[in-house]
């Protein structure tokens, strides 16, 4: 409700600028500001102009927000069970999540950090989004037609899988101008069974490529040092990861030993060619081809798969500018941002640039603790300063001029205090060729005094900033459940979600109530059922103790928003079926007695009456 607290005196639609912008409580002001166009307080019934996809952190889901209001609309479960939809309860969701031989979930905790969406022609195309699970090294895909998770890939050979980024087109095939790969950075080194270039095994990090369609792991690259966050170029040729642990250390003090670490570039076409040519090895636990991206194996630029660009001490994020020219690596322990020109990196790979570090075209001071960078449509970058609790707005072209000796080039345009210790930030369509320079969300790691106290665990404070003018204007505070880390923001026109499923998409669908019944084959029992408000197609389900039951439920209601739930008392079963959706659960009828099964989703005036009995005979 933070957005309702008198943020904006709005009197009209989002398209019309309000008469005045009054920052929350009058306490946060940016003196001298004129009127800006972003309205955060929508009138009842008004729709937001942007979707935000928010990483869910420990809850292992993706949260869908409407922006600029900041209202949370949906949570899409991925890595962690979810009691609303029965994620981790239904057979269909368990198959996506992965199970042990006894049918239980392989993992039921997660730690998601980064979410990014698929591209076409350099802009989002509304097909897919992806999210990582750092804890158990998984990558989940969300299909944006239904806003559901449909596949999860397991990355072999890595721990601490952190950054992700989809490619923006194919590096070789002219016709493929959309995302076909997702790159994943393994942060923690783990011992590999037999080293990489022969010799003793050292703990190693790997960079992983996952196929965007099949979600199979395509290949991996062993590197020196670690991987962390990922950026991809618009021509599809390059991906990069920031490295804070070039020391290959296992303890933090040693991870800070070197004055400079690296931004590590991957030549995607060459890696694909090496894999095709069979120049890889595999490890016993997987069939995934692994190529050698270490320093020593990539000395000759003309054949190198990787290039290590030196950047100051323990850098954090790496981000691609929307003009397609640069990657920006934020310094974290250094107060700087390093701007790397991509055409020069390609020149190095072609043998036309002598030293790879000459690809650095600027290294400028921004403030203390720079972490992540977002962009507008006017050549400006916005970088979070964790230690300074600020967002700094700076001009990339001016920074390059300054770096080349023009000391009059004022690259810092504006600074804004945020509350407090910001990590990620992102602007509308920031990392696409079409940023619109309107709104910027900032994920502040600490909220301290910004919300009512609720004991030791504070929410995080996500702040919304209007970046449409020269000066940034703070618009709103939003408490969020920890710990989202990252998010993207895109225009609502991009997606046209379907609101009713297609019966034929479900092989198990019970298409007619007449097909309902309890079908026995020895101990194995299949229960087929349909739901149509306010009734299930069976009045009771008769079973024998010890039956191995699979219950299939199809919701035959066709009306938008008419969802039913199905829960079995004392049997740990609860899930929903959306209109025309089919879901199934399997369980052993191990407790004799009479158990009420009821609809858990309010569907009808007779919702409470929508219940049947399961009778288990001893
Ligand atoms: Cu994206 Cu928080 Cu995982 Cu930076 S990391 S803050
Ligand atoms: Cu069906 Cu409630
Ligand atoms: Ca380091």
pLDDT tens per residue across span 369-386: 999 999 999 999 999 999
Return the pLDDT at 201.
53
The pLDDT tens digits of the residues spanning 287-338 come to 999 999 999 999 999 999 999 999 999 999 999 999 999 999 999 999 999 9
Q: From CA 250, how far away is CA 228, in angstroms rounded?
A: 15
Assess whether the C-beta atom of 371 lies below 6 angstroms from ligand 1.
yes
What value does the mean pLDDT take over residues 233-249?
A: 97
> To test ligand 1's pocket by mutation, which of 115, 315, 317 has the most ligand atoms within 8 angstroms of CB?
317
What value does the mean pLDDT take over residues 433-449?
A: 97
Which residues are CB-neighbours of 57 under 8 A, at least 6 positions away?
A: 111, 112, 113, 481, 482, 483, 484, 485
Return the pLDDT at 192.
82
What value does the mean pLDDT take over residues 413-430?
A: 98
Q: From CA 312, how far away is CA 202, in angstroms rounded?
A: 24
Assess whether the C-beta atom of 131 lies below 6 angstroms from ligand 1.
no
Whether pLDDT at 23 is above 80: no
Going by alpha carbons, the residue nearest to atom 2 of ligand 1 is 485
CA of 65 to the centre of ligand 3 (A): 36
* Domain topology for 503-617: Immunoglobulin-like (2.60.40)
Return the pLDDT at 278.
97
DSSP bridge pairs for 465: 440, 474
> To test ligand 1's pocket by mutation, which of 316, 421, 445 has the most ligand atoms within 8 angstroms of CB?
316
Residue 603 alpha carbon, nearest atom of ligand 2: 2
Buried b (16+ CB within 10 A) or exposed e, 516-542: bebeeeeeebbbbbbbbbbbbbbeebe
Residue 563 alpha carbon, nearest atom of ligand 2: 1
Going by alpha carbons, the residue nearest to atom 6 of ligand 1 is 423
8 Å CB contact between 286 and 397: no
Q: How confident is the model at residue 539 (pLDDT cuts 50, 70, 90)?
A: very high
Whether pLDDT at 544 is above 90: yes
Assess whether the C-beta atom of 116 lies below 6 angstroms from ligand 1.
no
Q: How confident is the model at residue 485 (pLDDT cuts 50, 70, 90)?
A: very high
Lowest mean pLDDT among 25-39, 137-151, 202-216, 510-524: 25-39
CA of 143 to the centre of ligand 2 (A): 26
Six token digits for residue 87: 């994620």
8 Å CB contact between 106 and 99: yes
Whether pLDDT at 39 is above 90: no
Return the pLDDT at 215.
98
Residue bearing tokens 């609303």: 84
Residue 533 alpha carbon, nearest atom of ligand 2: 1
Q: From CA 316, how far away is CA 387, in angstroms rounded?
A: 13
Q: How confident is the model at residue 26 (pLDDT cuts 50, 70, 90)?
A: very low
Whether pLDDT at 399 is above 50: yes
Whether pLDDT at 534 is above 90: yes
Return the pLDDT at 33.
40
Residue 486 alpha carbon, nearest atom of ligand 1: 1
CA of 137 to the centre of ligand 3 (A): 23
Return the pLDDT at 28.
34
pLDDT above 90: percentage of residues in the chain: 90
CA of 317 to the centre of ligand 1 (A): 8
8 Å CB contact between 382 and 319: no
* Domain topology for 155-365: Methylamine Dehydrogenase; Chain H (2.130.10)
| Between residues 195 and 107, the one the model is more confident about | 107
Q: From CA 372, how far away is CA 390, in angstroms rounded?
A: 12
CA of 316 to the centre of ligand 1 (A): 8
Going by alpha carbons, the residue nearest to atom 1 of ligand 2 is 564
CA of 226 to the centre of ligand 3 (A): 10
From the CA of 611, the nearest ligand is 2
Going by alpha carbons, the residue nearest to atom 5 of ligand 1 is 485
CA of 518 to the centre of ligand 2 (A): 21
CA of 98 to the centre of ligand 1 (A): 26
Q: From CA 467, how far away is CA 185, in angstroms rounded?
A: 31
Whether pLDDT at 32 is above 50: no
DSSP bridge pairs for 109: none
Q: From CA 419, how far away is CA 424, in angstroms rounded?
A: 13
8 Å CB contact between 539 and 610: no
CA of 248 to the centre of ligand 3 (A): 8
What's the Rg (C-alpha) of the chain? 26
pLDDT above 70: percentage of residues in the chain: 93
From the CA of 421, the nearest ligand is 1
Residue 601 alpha carbon, nearest atom of ligand 2: 2
CA of 35 to the centre of ligand 2 (A): 48
DSSP bridge pairs for 324: none
pTM of the entire predicted model: 0.93
Residue 386 alpha carbon, nearest atom of ligand 1: 6
Residue 371 alpha carbon, nearest atom of ligand 1: 4
Whether pLDDT at 223 is above 60: yes
Q: Which segments of the chain belong to CATH 2.130.10.10? A: 155-365
Return the pLDDT at 18.
37
From the CA of 245, the nearest ligand is 3
Whether pLDDT at 35 is above 60: no
* CB-based pocket (< 6 A), ligand 2: 533, 564, 599, 601-604, 607, 610
DSSP bridge pairs for 427: 440
Residue 564 alpha carbon, nearest atom of ligand 2: 1
Q: From CA 47, how far away is CA 153, in angstroms rounded?
A: 34
Assess whether the C-beta atom of 485 lies below 6 angstroms from ligand 1.
yes
8 Å CB contact between 560 and 576: no
Assess whether the C-beta atom of 441 lies below 6 angstroms from ligand 1.
no
From the CA of 131, the nearest ligand is 1
Q: From CA 323, how far away is CA 380, in angstroms rounded?
A: 11
Tell me whether residue 219 is exposed, middle or buried, using C-beta atoms within 10 angstroms of its C-beta: 0 to 12, 13 to 18, 19 or more. Answer: buried
Q: What are phi and psi of 610, to 5 degrees?
A: -80, 80
Q: Which segments of the chain belong to CATH 2.60.40.420? A: 503-617
């Amino acid at each position: 409700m933070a957005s309702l607290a008198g943020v904006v005196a709005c009197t009209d639609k989002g398209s019309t600028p309000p008469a005045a912008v009054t920052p929350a409580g009058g306490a946060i002001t940016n003196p001298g500001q004129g009127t800006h166009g972003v309205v955060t307080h929508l009138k009842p019934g008004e729709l937001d102009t942007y979707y935000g996809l928010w990483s869910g952190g420990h809850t292992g889901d993706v949260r869908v927000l409407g922006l600029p209001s900041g209202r949370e609309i949906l949570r899409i479960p991925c890595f962690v069970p979810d009691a609303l939809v029965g994620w981790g309860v239904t057979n269909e969701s368990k198959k996506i999540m992965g199970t042990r031989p006894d049918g239980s979930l392989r993992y039921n905790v997660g730690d998601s950090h980064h979410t990014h969406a698929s591209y076409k022609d350099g802009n989002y195309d509304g097909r897919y989004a992806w999210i990582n699970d750092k804890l158990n090294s998984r990558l989940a895909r969300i299909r944006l037609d239904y806003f559901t998770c449909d596949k999860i890939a397991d990355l072999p050979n890595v721990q601490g899988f952190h950054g992700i980024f989809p490619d923006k087109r194919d590096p070789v095939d002219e016709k493929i101008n959309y995302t076909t790969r997702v790159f994943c950075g393994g942060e923690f080194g783990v011992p590999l069974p037999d080293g990489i270039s022969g010799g003793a095994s050292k703990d190693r990090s790997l960079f992983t490529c996952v196929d965007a369609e099949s979600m199979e792991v395509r290949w991996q690259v062993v590197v020196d040092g670690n991987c962390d966050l990922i950026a991809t170029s618009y021509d599809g040729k390059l991906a990069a990861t920031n490295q804070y642990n070039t020391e290959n250390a296992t303890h933090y003090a040693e991870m800070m030993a070197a004055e400079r670490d690296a931004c590590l570039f991957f030549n995607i076409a060459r890696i694909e060619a090496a894999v095709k040519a069979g120049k890889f090895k595999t490890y016993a636990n997987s069939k995934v081809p692994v190529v050698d991206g270490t320093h020593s194996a990539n000395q000759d630029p003309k054949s190198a798969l990787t290039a290590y660009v030196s950047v100051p001490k323990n850098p954090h994020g790496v981000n691609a500018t929307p003009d397609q020219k640069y990657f920006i690596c934020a310094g974290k322990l250094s107060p700087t941002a390093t701007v790397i020109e991509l055409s020069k990196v390609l020149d190095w790979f072609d043998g036309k640039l002598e030293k790879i570090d000459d690809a650095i075209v600027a290294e400028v001071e921004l403030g203390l603790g720079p972490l992540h960078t977002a962009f507008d449509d006017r050549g400006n970058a916005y970088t979070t300063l964790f230690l300074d609790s600020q967002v700094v707005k700076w001009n990339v072209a001016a920074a390059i001029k300054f770096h080349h000796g023009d000391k009059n080039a004022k690259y810092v345009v504006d600074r804004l205090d945020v509350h407090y210790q910001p990590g990620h930030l992102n602007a509308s369509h920031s990392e696409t060729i079409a940023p619109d320079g309107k709104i910027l969300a900032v994920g502040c790691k600490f909220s301290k005094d910004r919300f009512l106290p609720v004991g030791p665990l504070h929410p995080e404070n996500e702040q919304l900033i209007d970046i449409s003018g020269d000066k940034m204007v703070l618009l709103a505070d939003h408490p969020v459940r920890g710990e989202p880390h990252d998010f993207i923001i895109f225009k609502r026109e991009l997606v046209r979600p379907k609101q009713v499923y297609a019966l034929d998409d479900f092989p198990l669908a019970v298409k007619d109530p007449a097909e309902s019944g309890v079908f026995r084959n020895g101990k194995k029992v299949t229960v087929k059922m349909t739901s149509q408000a306010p009734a299930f197609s069976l009045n009771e389900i008769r079973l024998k103790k010890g039956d191995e039951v699979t219950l299939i439920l199809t919701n035959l209601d066709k009306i938008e928003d008419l969802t039913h739930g199905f829960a079995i008392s004392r049997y740990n079963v609860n899930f929903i079926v959306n209109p025309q959706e089919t879901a199934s659960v399997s369980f052993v009828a191990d407790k004799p007695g009479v158990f009420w099964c009821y609809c858990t989703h309010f569907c009808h005036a007779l919702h409470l009456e929508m219940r049947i009995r399961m009778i288990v005979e001893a």
